[in-house]
Structure 1
């Protein structure tokens, strides 16, 4: 079955994406929140419409909903070659809620290692769960964003017990190789550590690269909870349904038996949408990956033309570009861009406190809008 990606008009985007577009004035061009300016895949729309038509608006089934587990297991096998036990797939409200639940009920007590720059809401995850945060810092001048295994070992030797791994990574756009993940596993095993693997961007691996689920790496089942979702790949974050995946009966039981107050509020409609995405969304996703690769390449060309001193991390996955604009002399280029040219980007210091001169730019939009975003950004940061 063929599929195509349809760009939303400005009016449609403003109506549909109430955070990304609705939180900014009409004269601001948004490229900040991780939502795509594309129409939702038809199989998902049809599934949601069917559910609403029959009044499926009550409470969801318990977290071990077999339909959702079966759908995700089939998806993981097709897309990643990963054999998942459908009975060890649990629903949760979203990935951040799932990470918090895993830390609260499955992970050992002790410090939390968090690679930075990192997804900004999760910077507070250690404090929220009563842990000390250990930042695993990536050198902003390094050629490629890589996890420093010696630094990781140092943190485990100094009170950390858990690694919150985001892979593919936001905002670096990195896809970690199997060899890299095996290196992480070896450090974790050597120090008796634990991993919560946030794999929300797993569907969005570009250029035919391989996403390696951390749980697919030999020797990880007893120390890992993976948190996955269709939300980023299919633009359905507002429908509230992520999944917790384990390879261990002990960890599955700890999560499944958590009190309702720790894990509830995922959506019945979200379950139906996720099942549709995992079961019938392959063709649409394949078309999306082609579009995103073209948008990334367009962004590279626009940067070369308008901001030749800018530095973009290689974008191997996601639709988020991590841009180093320090050469243009602004501590907070996102604020400058908003004030001078009415384009909203995500400020780099939100992903790593104290890091100046960086922005995260969402390129999942139309070619025309992306061109306008870059032209406005260039005008803002290069003007006296």
Structure 2
């Protein structure tokens, strides 16, 4: 997708969300342990997009510092607006600074389940100046309704926009747009404009605005209520369907141990890790990474470095057919008073609330005493894995762990036995 540049509208003030997320830009509000922006970037990376431009405004410097220049093969650039320009003005400015023949624009506070590759392919066969990705919802009152020409496949052109406030099912603008630069030509450079009210209705009036409707679920984190529900939305895209999870340490358990790892090139899956995770997933268990990263608190590297490492980890796991449901980290040093540094239970408590899992039905796997003790604190079944620092910790905490294993693949076999019905165990218990 080297001929398409993504533009993420990330500069909104987020007035309604300020009561629950007041110390960061809205797109950096955490969902399932990670800033929401990274859930968007993950989708762009999987699509094969080479470059994304973040249109920044409110708390722009913080966002640019915390995200950095690259992620999962995506080159990241920034277009900062010094005064609020609205969605249309911000895109006009960004396209002037970072030109592209075709823009894939995305609202930074929403997600929709959709085949973006099919959307791009469809648009490439049309001559619209712009096209909206539309989602079907049960109630359009909050978002307004989009009327399109009749068509069995939900694809065609936009006819009209209906005002917000009219209840009932229908199609809404899902916050994803494809457009050519000429679609914004009427906006004066540096002037404020709304793409939703100043650009799209005019294009629709001249038959130049396409519509690509999908049936996938839609998420907007713009209100406290929808933000709280965001974890459930993202959880619904995962494969684990039960109440149990496997809580996994990162370094020395899933990937090779590196001293204060902050370079994605240093990420290496341990032998048996991918196969073990696949087997755990097949049991209906959610896969959740819980990791202490005090290098952030010590100032050795920033959160952006941690996310690049996690992006590389996701790349490697996805190639092996494995998805993680969530990644939670503690950035604090041992001397800070936090509730999330392992073996304290804060990370698992967050995961239980957002993922709906029961620690009593779950497993904790790691290579250090703090991982074993974390599992014991939350009443989970514990595994000490002898990769990483595990062999050196066996004498200290091996007797406290329920199981001591040599790899995640071996741990998966134990979990299979634990979860198997008694009739399937053949009277043999693995210890």
Compare the two structures and name the one with the higher helix fraction: 1
Q: Which has the higher strand share?
A: 2
Which entry has the higher C-alpha Rg, 1 or 2? 2
Q: Same fold (TM over 0.5)?
A: no
**TM-score after normalising by structure 1:** 0.29
